[in-house]
Amino acid sequence: MTRNKKCELCGNEFVCGGLSGCWCRNSSISAQRRQILSSIAEDCVCRNCISDKK
């Protein structure tokens, strides 16, 4: 089941697929970036904010 969510960091809206297959499960995130995100966000973040390029 998909849900519309708002990125906790930038406020952009995006679609979350939840545990059943969200796009973020296939994202390559470095351990360092994952640690940073988990320290500043408690919920989902959008593709732009999850990216190491940011």
- pLDDT digit string, tens, across residues 18-51: 777 788 888 888 889 989 999 999 988 998 998 8
pLDDT on residue 28: 86
**pLDDT at residue 53 is higher than 60:** no
Beta strands in 1-54 (DSSP E): 3-6, 13-16
> Using CA atoms, how far apart are residues 30 and 19, in angstroms rounded to an integer?
20
- Cβ atoms of 3 and 18 within 8 Å: the answer is yes
> Using CA atoms, how far apart are residues 31 and 5, in angstroms rounded to an integer?
24
User: Which of the four pLDDT bands, split at 50, 70 and 90, describes residue 54?
Assistant: very low
pLDDT on residue 21: 79
pTM score: 0.73
